[in-house]
Chains A and B, each alone.
Chain A
Amino acid sequence: MIAYIVRRILYAIPILIGVNILTFVLFFVVNSPDDMARMNLGMKRVTPEAIENWKAERGYDKPLLFNSASQGVGQVTDTIFFQKSLKLFQFDFGTSDSDRDIGYDISQRMWPSLAIAVPVLLIGLLVNITYALLIAFFRATYIDIWSVVLCVVMMSISGLFYIIGGQYLVSKLLHLMPISGYDTGFAAVKFLILPVLIGVVGGIGSGTRWYRTLFLEEINRDYVRTARAKGLSEGIVLFRHVLKNAMIPILTGVVVVLPLLFMGSLITESFFGIPGLGSYTIDAINRQDFAIVRAMVFLGSVLYIIGLLLTDISYTLVDPRVRLS
């Protein structure tokens, strides 16, 4: 087991290097730091000195890959690639354009993101699985057909509409909850209810439909027929046999997104004014703060790879048929 995990981690390293090189090429080679400076300072009438200043302030004035002006190791380390790209491996994200430490910001902002993402995931799972089990219980009846139609309809509505509509209905018309904002500690709860609710409702369509397919796939298996032949009631068959076996794909599907919960949801957070990593990213994109976008790209990839790793491990844990190879 340990050897397997170690091998998987070793396999992740070249992928991270690939991501790193890709972001480097995207951010520094496709467009030179000069282009970025000109963009940030405004297009017209930018003096070369201003550009040099802008680059020097952010440490973009070094050569890309090889610094012939330095001595010894400095020839390799005193470059943009080493300073800006390789340092990401140490989780040293540098400072943003507004002179804040990105690493510190991320560690602060990930908590509000989690405060929304975790409840949405858990409540969503509960609701979707319950609903899907209910549909499976009433399979091939009108309840089943209309539930599937309802799911497809809910899937076809843009997530933006759930947010805008929900905000309008709950906050503006009914005045039940504040439209947006955030607070520290327990005072945050009243700001969280609406986004969590909307997140759950928005996910019902695709989630339930997916779980329904999983359940129905299991229901046609031989062991279910055996269980019924033994005289077990339909409820026990569903809960003890079908649910248990369908939990394997459900669990592994959840595990893969677990690490990415840290990244937060871009849209929800910016609509509700929640200071999480999602709105952090959006703000950075809108302000064209490349240091933050770069950091988030790298962080996202690391989390995704951790998710893949956890999925593989959880497969071997919950499903004894999967062998390590």
Chain B
Amino acid sequence: MMGGLVILWTDALVFLLLFFSVAFAVYAARREHLRGPWRQVVRSRVGVSTLVILSFYVVIGLLDSIHFEPQFSPDQQTGAQVQSSEVYSLFDRLVQPLRVRQEKTYSAPLATHLYAKENIEQPDGTVIRDFPRLQYGGAHLADPERDWAQDIMRLSLIGLIKGLVVTLVMANILFALLAARRSGGFAGAAKEVLSGKSDIPWRSVLITLGLLLMVLFWAVELSGRYHLLGTDKVGEDVFYQALKSIRTGLLIGTLTTLVMLPAAILLGIMAGYFRGWVDDLIQYTYTTLNSIPGVLLIAAAILMLQIYMSNHADEFNSLVERADLRLLFLCIILGVTSWTGLCRLLRGEAMKLREVDYVQAAVAFGVGHFQIILRHILPNVLHIVMITVVLDFSGLVLAEAVLSYVNIGVDPTMNSWGNMINSARLEMAREPVVWWSLMAAMIFMFTLVLSANLFSDVVRDAFDPRLRSSR
């Protein structure tokens, strides 16, 4: 049973961002100077492969950004309708089993037994101390020792085959679509793609997509019966946590830029275009802000937020809302510390552009300053803005982890890779080592950051011809 929609602050901004991106894409598609470089991006093998990976992350992030009211479920003992306390997302709904199947405490990836020994009462009344079976992980096995390996192999195989089949179906649809567009028919299109001769490197897309789908189906298949990446201290599925953290990582990486863009663009162009006292004032502002070490400014601001929140605890309806506001605030304060770089770049560019002939001509014709900025300056600095947005992303995702470690990042109750790593610090000291939380966070983060880094390289090369020569 679905409750009504709940729109958190960050959700609203995510969809605003999505709207802007689509609007910008439409705008860019009609202008050759923006469209050309993007065409180059989608023609690069690295570009399309990373784009596929990034879109997987984005889809999960978006699914996780549609929230519903807490649902009512019948209580097991009394049968009365009980409202669960948490707002949940569409993504939670999809992976419901992962969310609700909690164990008691740690368990290793794909384990059938708990991490810690417990007193277990045998059927005959004696008590022995042993690792108890997990409540959900591998619960279907009669004799884990004998069947475990075989079961894992079987499930993996099924998953991989399913992934392969879906990929093949998608490949065939692609060939059919391509064949409909040009002569040569289905076989011709397939041959062109598979030999890697197509304009857009569809072969790379298919390989990346195939690998991702196989991993996805493998994970789905195994998660149905086991805890793929183990469970954490309170028995929550680590795989689920890592997936939930995607939204946090993406939000930090994108919302921060969204928040800082208006100020950076406006002030940067104004400083470069008007010069004089406007320039002095704006330069002074960003030098001052920049001279405070970023981490300390964030720490100071977050400390102040904590004080505010604990003094006005009654203003927040739920933990989720509170964590959400803190995330938004973190994005804003990260934006405040990171807009200066873009502002300085835009100032330099605007300074160059105001001396260009067509701007001089516009001035001579008596066109207003506002019009000139809007018509002549802004369109010509958009590529710088775009490169900065893409370049900043991976740095921000990494920064989140560090900030959460210092306790000035996202709310401790929120799923994030930083929080996972933070808790892993103590787990590494345990014997035997609890490595899976750390590993899961690292793998998810690494994949995202690596794809973003490679993608941003391609984008920068496409938009910045000066750098292209040095490759």
Contact = CB atoms under 8 A, between A and B. Distances in A.
Interface stretch (B3-11, B86-94, B185-193, B297-305): B297-305
B293 interface: yes
B293 to A, nearest CB: 4
A160 B421 contact: yes
A152 B450 contact: yes
A272 to B, nearest CB: 12
A175 to B, nearest CB: 15
A30 B284 CA distance: 23
Contacts of B52: none
Given A23-B300, A39-B306, A220-B470, A159 B402 contact: yes
A305 B291 contact: yes
Contacts of A39: 306-307, 310-311
A42 to B, nearest CB: 10
B449 A156 contact: yes
A311 B370 CA distance: 36
Contacts of A72: none
A66 interface: no
A213, A266, A293: most-surrounded residue (chain B CB, <10 A): A266
Given A31-B304, A158-B445, A266-B295, A164 B398 contact: no
Contact of B308 (A15, A35, A156, A263): A35
Contact of A297 (B296, B407, B438): B296
B394 interface: yes
A297 B300 contact: yes
A111 B301 CA distance: 28
B430 to A, nearest CB: 11
Contacts of A297: 292-293, 296-297, 300
Looking at chain A's contact residues, the main secondary structure is helix
B457 A152 contact: yes
A63 to B, nearest CB: 20
Interface of B: 284, 287-293, 295-297, 299-301, 303-304, 306-308, 310-311, 313, 394, 398, 401-402, 405-408, 421, 424-425, 428, 433, 438, 442, 445-446, 449-450, 453-454, 457, 467, 469-471
Nearest to A218: B470
A236 interface: no
A294 B296 CA distance: 9
A271 to B, nearest CB: 8
A273 to B, nearest CB: 12
Interface of A: 14-15, 18-19, 22-23, 26-27, 30-31, 35-36, 38-39, 43, 152-153, 155-161, 164, 167-168, 172, 213, 216-217, 220, 260, 263, 266-267, 270, 281-282, 285-286, 288, 290, 293-294, 296-297, 300-301, 304-305, 308
A246 to B, nearest CB: 12
A15 B287 contact: yes
A156 B53 CA distance: 15
Given A152-B450, A156-B453, A286 B287 contact: no
B392 to A, nearest CB: 14
Given A43-B311, A158-B446, A304-B292, 12 more contacts: A18-B288, A22-B289, A23-B300, A26-B300, A157-B449, A158-B398, A158-B445, A217-B470, A266-B295, A266-B406, A290-B303, A300-B293
A152 B454 contact: yes
24 contacts: A18-B288, A22-B289, A23-B300, A27-B304, A36-B307, A39-B307, A152-B453, A155-B453, A158-B398, A158-B421, A160-B401, A160-B402, A160-B405, A164-B425, A164-B438, A217-B470, A220-B469, A267-B406, A282-B406, A296-B296, A297-B297, A300-B292, A304-B291, A308-B291
